[in-house]
Amino acid sequence: MPSTSPPPGNAVWLPIFAGLCASLVSIGLARFAYTPLIPSLIEAHWFSASDVVYLGAANLVGYLIGALIGHPLARQTSNTTALRLMMLAVTLSFFACAFPLSVSWFFGWRLLSGIAGGAVMVLVASTVLPHVPAARKGLASGAIFLGIGLGIAGSGTIVPPLLTLGLQQTWLGLGLLALALTAASWFGWPAASPHAAATAPVTTAPTSLNRGVYLLFGQYALMAAGLVPAMVFLVDYVARGLGAGQHVGALVWVMYGLGAIVGPVSYGFLADRLGARLSIRLVLAVQAIALGLLSICSTFAALALLAVIIGSFPPGIVPLALARVHELIPEHHRQQIAWSRATVSFASFQAISGFAYSALFNASGGHHALMFVIAAGAIVLALLLEWVVHLQGQPGNKLCMPTTPA
């Protein structure tokens, strides 16, 4: 892989800023701005309650597709071009969603926004981090994925004022914000985007991955299943489930967003101090407890505190899982392959869970607490999985996988 020297001085922050904008637009806003809109979409009769929930899952399905096509798309163009196109796709989807022509129309645009998010997730780190000095890679990774948290927090503070203007104006406003961020980051991407991993010829020799990598794939998948309910249902749970109203629901979502801002930095700090493996155990234990408490708590103070803790999870586990990949695999090309497969694993379970939770939510008559209990169970399974895997044999046992990128 051709190497590129990290840019000197403050120039190193330009690609980091571009990466932050990409994660903010394609995941932070494209996915999470939908959550505080759910009660309004139902109350304004744009779609039925069941349709609104399934439309939320469309973004999760798109995320899986995007994780699968991200590298092939980069091979046809370049990492930088692919990332720019994905940000433009999200911007276009926001404008299109301002016109609820039909459920299928809305589903298609929500699907496209998810595709963009999945592609950005598999490409952005490998595009930016090779241009960052080794001493700053951990901080840079947290800064890139901080965009997800900023998008969540931004959706909680921007969406309510926009909703006073109307639903259509809200979607148009989100589109304008995405357009501004796309423009601001356009020239911040590295001039020579290192996409050799995407363009490298496919070899037939097997790449050996240790048991810890496959354990991470399984845990990352279960984490995806555990984060979906709060990500999709939290505002609706507070606003309609507890009868607290849209305003209180938005405030709780802001707290969720604050947690999302803190998550990448704090989880990265844990990985630096404790190691990624131990940090994953600690984070999973805390999240399982928080999700269990969410199902039985109804006071605003408790909900706000739990929202901060749970909100730190979706963006925080990304740099944490990436750090674990780097711990387990020393070679850059194999790191990219493993990260791509980890993202596909995450996206697969996220999409399946999205539709499964939606179906269960409708079948249970809108029982929010049940969703959170199941989510807590998924996190507990992720904790137990490490124990089960280590009982199956020696940690050093090797498994083989082809080097074809996911």
- Its domain, for residue 293, covers 10-189+204-401
Which among 405, 17, 1 is positioned nearest to 190, based on CA atoms?
17
Q: For residues 24 and 185, what is the distance between their CA atoms, to the nearest angstrom?
A: 11
Predicted confidence at residue 200, as pLDDT, reads 42
Please state, in angstroms and as integers, the Cα–Cα distance from residue 112 to each residue in 78, 92, 226, 352, following that order: 20, 9, 24, 17
Query: Residue 47 falls within a domain, yes or no?
Result: yes
Predicted confidence at residue 52, as pLDDT, reads 83
Amino acid at 14: L
How far, in whole angstroms, is CA 158 from its chain's centroid? 20
Query: Residue 195 falls within a domain, yes or no?
Result: no
Q: What are the two backbone dihedrals, phi and then psi, of residue 335, each rounded to the nearest 5 degrees?
A: -60, -45
Predicted confidence at residue 327, as pLDDT, reads 83
Q: What are the two backbone dihedrals, phi and then psi, of residue 64, each rounded to the nearest 5 degrees?
A: -65, -45
Query: Residue 97 falls within a domain, yes or no?
Result: yes
Structure tokens belonging to residue 174:
């989100």
Predicted confidence at residue 135, as pLDDT, reads 60
189-231 pLDDT, tens digit per residue, is 886 544 444 444 433 333 455 778 888 889 999 999 998 888 8
Q: For residues 148 and 309, what is the distance between their CA atoms, to the nearest angstrom?
A: 15
Tell me the CATH number at 114.
1.20.1250.20
Structure tokens belonging to residue 235:
């505002």
Which among 151, 135, 165, 121 is positioned nearest to 21, based on CA atoms?
151
Query: Residue 37 falls within a domain, yes or no?
Result: yes
Which region, left, alpha or beta, applies to residue 398 given φ > 0 means left and ψ of -120 to 50 means alpha?
beta
Structural domain count, the chain: 1
Q: At what angle do helices 211-236 and 276-294 cross, to 10 degrees?
A: 30
User: Coil, strand or helix: which one is 189?
Assistant: coil
- Quickly tell me which residue has 């276009």 as its tokens: 92
Query: Residue 361 falls within a domain, yes or no?
Result: yes
| pLDDT in 10s for each residue of the chain, 406 residues | 344 444 454 567 888 898 999 999 998 899 888 877 888 888 888 888 778 877 877 888 898 899 888 888 988 888 899 999 999 999 999 999 999 888 889 999 999 999 999 999 888 888 887 777 666 666 677 788 888 888 888 877 888 888 889 889 999 999 999 999 999 999 888 865 444 444 444 333 334 557 788 888 899 999 999 988 888 888 888 888 888 887 888 888 889 888 988 888 788 778 878 888 888 999 999 999 999 999 888 888 999 999 999 999 888 888 888 888 888 887 777 777 888 888 888 888 888 887 788 888 888 887 888 999 999 999 999 999 878 766 665 444 444 444 433 3
Residue 214 is inside which H or E element, if any? Answer: helix 211-236
Query: Residue 1 falls within a domain, yes or no?
Result: no
Query: Residue 406 falls within a domain, yes or no?
Result: no
Query: Residue 4 falls within a domain, yes or no?
Result: no
Q: What are the two backbone dihedrals, phi and then psi, of residue 365, each rounded to the nearest 5 degrees?
A: 75, 30
Q: Is the pTM of this model over 0.85?
A: no
